[in-house]
Amino acid sequence: MRLERIAEEKHEIIRVEAFDGDSFGITLESGHAILLELGDKIHEPTYAALIESGDFCKPYTDGERLCWPGGTALTLKEILDMLLSHGNARQNKDRRIE
Read off the pLDDT of residues 76-88 as tens digits, 9 standing for 90 and up.
999 999 988 876 5
Please give the pLDDT value at position 38. 92
- At 20 the pLDDT is 86
**Residues 30/39, Cβ–Cβ less than 8 Å:** no
User: What percent of the chain is predicted at pLDDT more than 70?
Assistant: 77
Question: In sequence order, which residues have a C-beta less than 8 Å from that of residue 29 and are 6 or more positions away?
Answer: 11, 12, 13, 14
* In the chain, where the domains are located: 3-97
Specify the CATH architecture of the domain 3-97.
Answer: 2-Layer Sandwich (3.30)
